[in-house]
A = this chain, B = another copy of it.
Amino acid sequence: MSAPTVLALSGGVGGAKLALGLMHTLPPENLTVVANTGDDFTHLGLRICPDIDTVVYTLSDLADKDRGWGRAGESWNFMAALGRLGGEDWFNLGDGDMAMHVFRTQALAEGRTLSEVTAEIAETLGIGPRILPMTDETVATVVESANGDLPFQHYFVRDRCEPAVTGFRFTGIADAKANAEMMTLINGSHLDSIVVTPSNPFVSIDPILSLPGVRDALNAQTSPIIAVSPIVGGQAIKGPAAKMMAELGLPSTALAVAEHYRGLIDGIVIDEVDNEQAEDIAALGMEVRVAQTVMRTLEDRKDLARICCAFATEIGS
Q: Are A77 and B95 in contact (CB under 8 A)?
A: yes
With contact pairs A75-B75, A109-B45 given, residues A103 and B87 touching in the complex (Cβ less than 8 Å) = yes
Secondary structure dominating the interface of A = helix
- Assembly stoichiometry (copies): 2
| A86 and B121 alpha carbons, distance in the complex (Å) | 8
Tell me how far the C-beta of A133 lies from the nearest C-beta in chain B, rounded to whole angstroms: 17
Q: Are B77 and A44 in contact (CB under 8 A)?
A: no
- Write the residues of chain A forming the contact surface with B, with a CB cutoff of 8 angstroms: 44-46, 71, 74-75, 77-82, 84-87, 94-100, 102-103, 105-106, 109, 120-121, 124-125
Q: Are B124 and A96 in contact (CB under 8 A)?
A: no
List, in ascending order, chain B residues with CB within 8 A of A78's CB.
Answer: 78, 95-96, 98-99, 102
> Can you list the 5 inter-chain pairs with the closest CB atoms, starting with the nearest?
A81-B99, A95-B95, A81-B96, A82-B99, A77-B95
**Which of the listed residues A46, A84, A99 has the most CB atoms from chain B within 10 Å of its own CB?**
A99
| A106 and B88 alpha carbons, distance in the complex (Å) | 11
| A121 and B46 alpha carbons, distance in the complex (Å) | 20
| A75 and B96 alpha carbons, distance in the complex (Å) | 10
Q: Are A87 and B109 in contact (CB under 8 A)?
A: no
Q: Are B71 and A74 in contact (CB under 8 A)?
A: no
| A125 and B81 alpha carbons, distance in the complex (Å) | 11
